[in-house]
Amino acid sequence: MIPSILMTMTNFVWMVSDWWLYRAIMALTARSTARNMLVFKKLFLMAALAMIHNLSKYGLKRD
Counting beta carbons within 10 angstroms of the beta carbon of residue 40, is it exposed (0 to 12), middle (13 to 18) or buried (19 or more)?
middle
User: Minimal CA–CA distance to 10: which of 37, 63, 61?
Assistant: 61
Give the global pTM: 0.38
Domain ranges of the chain: 2-59
The band of 48, judged by pLDDT with boundaries at 50, 70 and 90, is: confident
pLDDT digits 0-9 by tens, 22-44: 787 777 766 666 676 778 788 88
